Amino acid sequence: MNFKKTNADLSTKTRNFIDFEGETDNIYESISIISKRANQIGNQIKEELSRKLEDFASYTDNLEEVFENREQIEISKFYERLSKPTLIAIDEFLNDKIYYRRPDNSGITSSVKKESEEE
């Protein structure tokens, strides 16, 4: 997923809990879905950042290299300014961009929401 193009808020705000009941009719199930998606997003961001910073890894302790690496600092600042994974997950949930499945009573899984744009 491209986290640079998300319309999620950059800071937390008060929300109406009834908005979260929409498709699931259960606030706790909705929060569980949002929480699992936020964990996925957080892991994706962490992996992407780790891959980018891997190029700058130095295995020697040289004090001069720490202060000279501006590109690494810019990459880190970019990721700090991104919306938090929870806010991205809330935005996806409220805009029907999350795909999740819920098992019904017969043991067969039914899909409840639309598929996510990118996975």
Kindly report the pTM of this predicted structure.
0.74
Q: What CA–CA distances, in Å, run from 4 to 53, 84, 91, 112?
A: 18, 12, 14, 27
Residue pLDDT tens, the chain, 119 long = 576 677 787 777 888 888 888 878 889 999 999 999 999 999 999 999 888 888 776 666 565 555 557 788 888 888 888 888 999 999 899 888 888 887 766 554 444 554 444 44
pLDDT one-digit tens code per residue, 47-76:
998 888 887 766 665 655 555 577 888 888
pLDDT at 36: 94
Integer Cα distance of 26 and 37 in angstroms: 17
Mean pLDDT, the chain, whole residue set: 78
How do the domains of the chain map onto residue ranges?
21-111
